[in-house]
Amino acid sequence: MEALHLAFKAHHIADKLDVAKYKQTYPDCLIATGTRELYYQFEMNRYAYIVSYGAVVLAGFDDEEEFLKKLKPFATELHQHPSKDDLEVIYASEDQSLSLSFDTLSLGRLDVPTNKLVMMHLAQTVALAHYNTQSQALLSELKTYTLYMQKYGKVKLGHKKALQFIGKSLTAKNNIAENLYILDSPKVAWEDEYLDKLHATLAHHFELVPRYREIDNTLKIIEDNLAIYISYNHHRESSRLEWIIIILIVIEVIDTFWSKL
C-alpha cells in the first residue's frame, strides 16, 4: 500500500458557525453529523470538518479559500485575522505505528473516527489560539489602567468600563467551557485503544490542557483586578454621595440662617 500524504489545515474564522443551517444548505457528501459538528468526505481524499465554535479544518483541498467563502453567510462575528494551524498526516500500512514529530503525524488507519479525531484537535488548537489572543489583549489593556493608577495615584477605569471588561472575560471563559472538550477523552476513544492513544498523542503535542489552563488563569487575574476596580468605584460613588448630602445640609443651614436674618 502506497502511503497517502494529506495536508490538514485549520482555521478559526468566526465566533460562531450555524452548523444546522449549513447542513440543510449543503447536505451532499455529509458523512457524520452532530449538534455542533459536521464531517464531509469528498472525492479524491478531500475532507472537511466544521465546528459550531467557528473552527474549520480542511484536508486535501487545493481551493481552501473557495470553501471558506461558502461558510461566511453562516458565521457570526467573522475574524479579520483568523487563527491558523496545519499538520501533515501520512497514512501508511496497517502495521505502521502511530508517531508524531514536529508537524507530521504517521498513522496506520484511514477511517472516519481517525480523521475526525485529528481534525477535532486541530480545531481546538486554533480556537485556543484565538481565545489566548483575546485574553492577552484584555490583560494588556487592563495593565494600562493599572500603570496609570501606579503613576498618578488615581483610577482611570470607570464603573461601566470595568463591568464591560468583566463581561468580556466571562464571555471568553464561558465560550471555552461550552465549546472545547479538552480535559476529557472523546467518547469515540473510550472503547478504541488506538483512538485513545491518538487522542493522548495529539493533546500532548498541541499542549491543549496547559494552554487551556493558562487562558483560564489569565481570565482569573483579569477578574480579580476588575473586582478591585469595582470595589474602589463603589467606594468612590459612596463618598461622592456623602459629600453631596453634606453640601445639601450646609446649604439648608445657610438658607435657614439667612432667612432668620
pLDDT of 28:
93
86 found inside a domain:
yes
Write out the DSSP string of 120-143. Answer: HHHHHHHHHHHHHHHHHHHHHHHH
Name the band, by pLDDT with cuts 50, 70 and 90, for residue 23: very high
Quote the pLDDT of residue 235. Answer: 59
- The per-residue pLDDT for 1 is 54
In a domain, 227, yes or no: no
The pLDDT, as a whole number, for residue 163 is: 75
**Is 236 within the bounds of a domain?**
no
Cell of 71: 461558510
Q: Of 28-37, 52-61, 92-101, 179-188, which gets the smallest average pLDDT? A: 179-188
244 occurs within a structural domain: no
Q: What is the pLDDT of residue 234?
A: 64
Mean pLDDT of 47-75: 92
Which residue is it, cell 461558510? 71
Q: Are 124 and 182 in contact (CB under 8 A)?
A: yes
46 within domain boundaries:
yes
What's the pTM value of the predicted model, to 2 decimals? 0.81
Which of 5, 25, 3, 177 is CA-nearest to residue 94? 3
201 vs 132, 196, 205, 207, CA distance in Å? 22, 9, 6, 10
- Total domains, the chain: 1
Is 246 part of any domain? no
Task: Judge whether 47 lies within some domain.
Answer: yes
Q: In what order do the strands lie in the sheet with 30-33?
A: 30-33, 37-42, 46-51, 55-59, 4-17, 75-91, 104-107, 99-101
Range of 94's domain?
4-221
With a cut of 80, say whether residue 244 has pLDDT above it.
no
